Every structure is written in C-alpha cells, then in structure tokens.
Chains A and B, each alone.
Chain A
Amino acid sequence: MKNALKTIACTLVALIVLDVLAALVLVGPAPASLKTFFNYGRSVPGKIAQWKANPDLRGNLLNVSWLPDLMDLSAEQAAARPAGDEPVVHTYGMSFVVRITDAAQKARPDLQLAHRGGPGAPPNFTYAAFLKDRENRRPGDVAVLGILSYSVGAMGSFSNRTWVFEQPSPFTYPIFLPDGDGGLREIEPVVETLEQEMSLEDDPDLAGRWYDQLRDQDRVFAPAAFDLSWLDISPFARLVRRSLAQGDIAGRKAEIIARPEDGTMPYAEVLRRMITSFNAIAREDGQIPIVLLVQGRDPVDPDLKALLKPWLEEEGYPYLATADHQSPRDPRAFLPDGHYQPDIDARFGQAFLEVLDRARQETPPAR
C-alpha cells in the first residue's frame, strides 16, 4: 500500500507539473494551432469573456450574425435600393448557401444577391431571419431558405453557444415548436441583442434568467460546457471539459436526430411547417421561394433528401437538394474545412439557376 500511495502521489505531482508546464508553454512559445486546440476546451462563458475582453482576438465571434443587426443592415440596403431595381435573391442561411449562390452569380453576373446568415446557422435562425426581413423584400424578389443537415439537430437550441462548443458564436435565435393549429409556436431567447449580451456581467438578473432559460428550454444545453469557468486556468481541465461537453452535446443532438417526428424536438414536422409558411408568405408577397437543402459530409447528420424531398415534390415547392448533384459520401467533394470544393459549388450554382428559372416560369414576377 505504501508503494501504491507513493506512486499515486508521484503521479499527482507529475500531473500538476505537466499542467503548469503546459500552461506556461501555451501563454508563451506554443504554435498557434496548439493554443487554439487548448482554447477549444475553455468553458463557453470563458470563451465569450475572452472575446469581450480582447475584441481583436483571432477568431472572435462575439458580434457575428445577431439578428437585429442583420435586419438593420437589411433595412439600410432596402432603403438605398432604387425603385424598379432588378429583383434581388435574398438568402437566409449559412456559408454553404453563400458559396452556392455566389457560384450562381459567377455564372450569371447580373444576379443580385443579399445574404443574411450565420455560421452553421440552424433552420430556426434562417426561418426567423426570413420572417423578420419581410419588410425589406419586394415583390418579384427571390427568397432562399437554407437548411444545413449539420445544424438540424440543433433546432431545439437558442444559440450556437450551446451546441458548437469549440466555436460558440453567441448570436441568438428563437426556437420553433409545432402548435395545435398546424403552425409554429415561437419561443424568443431572453438575450436577443449584442447589447444585452455585453451587459450580462453587469446585470446578474438578466444573466440569471438567460442561464435558466438555456438550462430549462435549450434542448442541447450541456452543463459541462458552461459551469465552473474558473477551471479554465488549467489546460488539463480544459481537455477534460472539452471531452465531457462534446460528448454530452453530441449525445443530445443524436437523441434529437434519432426521433424526427415524435422526439422532444420533432424537427421533421417543424421543418415541414417552416417550409409551408415560407412558401405561403413569399408567394403572398409576390416573391419566389426556393428551399436549399445542403447535405454536409458528416454521416450522422439527418439525410435531408430522404427526409424532405418526397414531401417537397408532393407539395410542388421549388427546391434544390445538393445530394441530388453530389454524393456527400465522397470525401473528395469537400475542402478540409467541410465546405464543398469550388467546382462542386459551381455545379450546385448551375443547378440553382435552373431551379430559379423554372420557378420564375411557373411564378411570373409580380411586378
């Protein structure tokens, strides 16, 4: 027993020494990639606090994609848009949607684009952006609703901060759930603006209500990602947190994905209702709605084509499913960061133009 205790003591001492050395290396000469790797394990409040304290920090996502800011920008652009201008293609999505429509614009330079998106934004963000941007679109415009397979599992979330642990962009969005009348019930987040986010440290009441809402209503919220921020001082604790938080989040997402119709977030039904509403509103406003189903490379993501294509066909809603034009199972189709290769995006862009032209023929411009 004496020997065992001696070994345990030596192990603990060595662990502490290693941890202190790692901490010193990380504040000093470590390569940037290693620093980033260890930063991934900081708590979400720890990462956000770092960004607040150092706005120039590389990879700072603090002021990215807040919906009110996006809408302000959109309103400014709409106000500056001359009457009788060419129709604009308004995209509501994420980088994938931007890349595809940019590729379409490359093939057809007169295409006017206006992007409203967030990194990896889930459908509840894109749909909320579409709703809030209604005043800024005109008859004859095109509205593109982007749905990314990777973020469908996060439809029960208020913010990327709860489900993208490594890069928790704090921008927020509502959660939509089916109501009893075939529509959607909207739950607004307690924190809706960057200003509110910045005031959290000085407003314990707001911070408390926000934490309670995330804990109680966000279906992907993992306590390991948020609690005990003071442990961020230890690189070892960051590694442990990263593992626990990632595992917990992935488990929660997997539970949601496994039950598309009857789980705590019946995302298949919510998506169908969102798309129905999207089409109805756009058509009511004399616009052309196009749904863009983007299948990412991760095989655990829901198969959007299988989930929605038959229904979209049945309803006659214009759509583009990337999986119709490129198998997501071919790794050569992707860049290392997970986006599609430029030539594949060009192919999607061409397909988008075909869908757009077809939709325009079926739904003549309202002007």
Chain B
Amino acid sequence: MLFSQLDFWYFFAVVFLLYLVLPFRWQNRMLLVASYVFYGAWDWRFLGLIAFSTVVDYLVGLSLARTSDETRRRHLLTISMVTNLGLLGVFKYFNFFIGSFVALADGMGMSVSIPVLYIVLPVGISFYTFQTMSYTIDVYRRELEPAKNFFDFALFVAFFPQLVAGPIERASNLLPEIMRPRTVTWEGISRGAVLCLIGLIKKVVVADAISPTVDTVYGMENPTGAAVAVGTWLFALQIYCDFSGYTDIARGVAKMMGFGLMRNFAQPYFATNPQEFWRRWHISLSTWLRDYLYISLGGNRQGKRRTQVNLMATMVLGGLWHGAAWNFVLWGGYQGALLVLHRQFFGRRRGSGEGERRRLLHWGGRLLLILAYFQVTCYGWLLFRAQSWEQIADFTARLATIRLSDFANLPLPGLPFPAITGILLVLFWDIATEASGKVRFYESWPAPVRGLLWAVLIYAFAFGATTTPSAFIYFQF
C-alpha cells in the first residue's frame, strides 16, 4: 500500500473517520491495529519482527527504570542493542557480509563456500529498529521516562504514517503525543492536506516521471559524459522528491490526526557545504547518527584527529545504514571525507555560521556556491545510484572527459511536460520556504491567493498523475 496509490487513501479515510468518532484510548488502539494492517498489507509475515522488537524494548525500558545498578542497566541496554542490531544483521546484512567474505577469500586464493540465505528484506526495518533503539538509549541515559502502557509504546514503534520510511522519530517527541489526548482541528487538517498535496506532487508528478530517464542512463552501456551528468542531476531530483515527498505525506497524514512529526528535509540543495547539507538532508537520520553514534564515539571532544575518525566512522556507518552494498559504504565515506575536509579547511565556526555567511555573501555568490556544491552532492548520488564498481569507474571517467557538445545530442527521452511543471512548482515551493524562512510561508497570504495556489497545485497534480505508482526509493532501506 503506497501513499501514491488510491488504496492508501481509502484506507486512511476509514482510519480517519474511526479516529474522529473514537475516544482517546480507543484511538490509539485503533491506530495500532491500522498500523499493523498497513504493514501487513506489504507482507504480514514480518509483523512478528516488529512485535518482537516492540516487546523486547518495552520490557527493557521498564526494567531500566526499575534498577539503578549500572552493570545491570548496561546488560539491559546490550539486550536491546543485540536484539535490534541482530534483526538488522540477519535480515539486511547477512548475505552482504557473507558475500564480501567469500569475495575476499577468493581474492586471496582461498576457495570458500558458504551457503547464502535467501532472505527477503523487511520493508522499513532500518527505520523502526533505529527508532526503538533511540528509545532504549534515551531511557538508559535517563533522558526519558519509559512508556508504561504497552499499547502506547507499540504504537510509537509502528505508527503507520512513518513506519516504513521515517522520519525516524525520537521517543521524546512522539511518545508524549501518543500518550496525551490530541485535538483534530481545521487548521491541522488543512496544514496536513497541504503537506500531502505537495508530497504527492513531488512523488507522482516529479519523481515517478523522472525515474525512467534515470533508469535509462544507469542501464546504458556506453553513455556519453553528458548523459551521465544529466542522468545524475535527474537522480538528485528524483531521490529528493521521492524521499521528501514521502516525508511530506507522512507528516501531513499525522498532522491531520493531531500528531506533529519532525521535519526531515529543509531545502537540502540550497546547501553550500557538507555540514549545511547534512543539517538539511534526512534530518532525522543525521541527528540520530550525531546523538547516538558520533557523540557516543567521543564526538569532537577528543582532539582533531579523533574527531575526523569519528566523523568518517559515523558517515560510513550512515552509508551502510542505507543498504547492504559497497557503493553505499563508498557514498558514506565520500560524505565523511567532505565533512572532514570542510572542517579542516573552513573550521567549525565558519561552517555553522550560516546566518553570518548569508550576510557576507552576496546572493549571486551564494547562488554560485549552491550550484557548485550541488555538483559535489551529485557526484555522491552517482556513487549511491551506481550498480557496480565498474560503473562508478566508467561513469567517473566519462564525467572527466565530458564534452559540452554532447549536451546538444542527448540519447535520452525528453521529460514529460507535467514533470517540468512539477519541477518548477517544487522549486518555487523550496525558494519560497527558504526566502521567507517559514515552512508555511503561504499562511500570511490572503485567502483568495492561497485558494489560487491550492487550485494550481491540485491541477498540477492531476496534470502529472502517471499510470503505475512506483515504490518509494527509501522503502528498500
């Protein structure tokens, strides 16, 4: 059941109507059942994994609150980590590590034969395991009271709008929302509807329409450098619209029911350096990695060299979080190297002084920096999207020998007109948000102008709604 399919909206209409008529406690139980139905519609066999992870972390959380013995607390935390990372290890990384080991052994002239398990990757496993782990770590750190009600906690783990592709919610944000009565307001419904609409435009009108062209380029045997460049620019747009579109819809659906999920994207392609990029891209993951991995490794408190190692380790593991493949590790390493280099040459204060730099830089200069850093980001997306080491090497070589004249003769199908309309609308939306500094920049506009904007968005969505909905890219992570 995809957000971009009618089935989901029928499902949500039923859930929302029930939500409106039920009292608070029953709302949560109904949402829990709905969340399990939503996940079970993909593959009911993996419901057991969520339930198992939920029970373990619920019990660990309660036990952590009942003891002050630090050794016992560490053991309890270990149980939770082993359970969650164990699930990830078996279902996501087992074949990857086995395959890599066999390849390494082969490379060293040893013949090793280890049976490969044919395991289906449970959709969204990386998201919900990270979410439950953050809960246990927060309780362990005494930063959070454990959930007393099992059903509330189970809903925190499985809440359907963000279950399969985030945002990776913190317990300190979502659990209180689950535990207190919520109010459905016209304001919440309209704000939620706007988020859903812009999310659908991003996904259906832009990402799905761009996807065939990107697939074409990354399926070509001898593309020109220009084709690689255009394909990768389009992939940058595709992955942004696909993933942030999902997040927008997730936040919109939750918002209609009175939940406030965290923002996951803040116009990431307007970043001018890696530090800024990671404050804007997949915010729930980058802050998770910062709070639970980077800081746990020592962060920047143990000297320059150790800080660089911590940054690299965090980003490489962040890359591996995306998928069990070496190109994701390489992408993580690339992002880590960018952060290290940026820190080395520009320093932390300057890197984080966005406001200061904004004042210093003329808008034209900032635009140039944005465009330049976008190319750097795009090379990362090439590593991310490539299907093999050979393709990375080949495409990189083609980019290095790119000829401007090749852009005039691209062997690619043109983008459909609705997709171009969608891209322009998304660009307008991001520029308006960035320039105003307000996520809901439109709320200060007069009602007729707002009405016109919604009408244009609705028309644009209908204009670009394509035939077969594609799965969201981040489902596979």
Contacts and interface: CB of A to CB of B under 8 A. Distances in A.
Interface stretch (B95-103, B124-132, B444-452): B444-452
A250 B468 contact: yes
Contacts of B454: 7, 11, 14
Q: Which of A5, A7, A236 has the most CB of B within 10 A?
A: A7
B189 interface: yes
A323 B89 CA distance: 40
Interface residues of B, number: 31
A239 B189 CA distance: 25
Contacts of A249: 467
Interface string B170-207: 00000000000000001101100000000000000000
Interface stretch (A107-115, A130-138, A324-332, A357-365): A324-332
Contacts of A11: 450-451, 454-455, 458
Given A7-B451, A15-B459, A18-B456, A330 B221 contact: yes
Interface string A1-26: 10111111111111101110010000
B209 to A, nearest CB: 12
Interface string B428-459: 00000000000000000001101110111011
B219 interface: yes
Interface string A69-96: 0000000000000000000000000000
B468 A15 contact: no
A184 interface: no
A4 B189 contact: yes
B448 A10 contact: yes
Contacts of B413: 331, 336
Interface in B318-364: none
Given A9-B451, A329-B219, A330-B221, A1 B186 contact: yes
A331 B467 contact: no
A13 to B, nearest CB: 7
A5 B413 CA distance: 43
A12 B219 CA distance: 44
Contact-residue bracket for chain A: 35 or more
Nearest to B456: A18
A7 B450 CA distance: 7
B462 interface: yes
B86 interface: no
Which of B413, B450, B463 has most A Cβ within 10 Å? B463
B119 interface: no
Contacts, number: 88
Interface stretch (A240-248, A286-294, A347-355): A240-248
Contacts of A236: 459, 462
Nearest to B213: A331
Given A1-B186, A7-B447, A14 B455 contact: yes
B455 A18 contact: yes
A37 B411 CA distance: 24
Given A15-B458, A331-B216, A10 B452 contact: yes
Contacts of B49: none
A247 B450 contact: no
B447 A6 contact: yes
B412 interface: yes
B469 interface: yes
Interface string A199-217: 0000000000000000000
Contact of A247 (B6, B456, B458): B6
A300 B190 CA distance: 38
Nearest to A251: B468
A239 B463 contact: yes
A331 B451 contact: no
Nearest to A10: B451
A282 B6 CA distance: 48
B393 interface: no
Contacts of A330: 219-221
Interface string A218-256: 000000000000000000100110111011011100100
Contacts of A240: 462, 465
A191 B184 CA distance: 54
Most buried by A among B6, B186, B455, B469: B455
A326 to B, nearest CB: 12
A4 B448 CA distance: 12
Contacts of A34: 417
Contacts of A254: 468
B396 interface: no
Specify which of B220, B468, B469 lies most central, judged by the most chain A CB atoms within 10 Å of its CB: B468
B466 interface: yes
**Which one of A1, A244, A254, A332 has the highest number of Cβ atoms from chain B below 10 Å of its Cβ?**
A332
Interface of A: 1, 3-15, 17-19, 22, 33-34, 37, 236, 239-240, 242-244, 246-247, 249-251, 254, 299-300, 329-332, 336
Closest 9 CB pairs of A and B: A10-B451, A14-B455, A243-B465, A4-B186, A239-B462, A246-B467, A15-B455, A11-B451, A11-B454
30 contacts: A4-B187, A6-B447, A7-B447, A7-B450, A7-B451, A9-B451, A10-B448, A11-B450, A11-B454, A11-B458, A13-B451, A14-B451, A14-B455, A14-B456, A15-B459, A18-B456, A33-B417, A37-B417, A236-B459, A236-B462, A239-B463, A240-B462, A242-B465, A247-B468, A250-B467, A250-B468, A251-B468, A254-B468, A330-B221, A331-B412
Given A10-B451, A247-B6, A247-B469, 18 more contacts: A1-B186, A6-B447, A10-B448, A10-B452, A11-B450, A12-B451, A14-B452, A14-B455, A22-B459, A239-B462, A242-B465, A243-B462, A247-B468, A251-B468, A330-B219, A330-B220, A332-B220, A336-B413
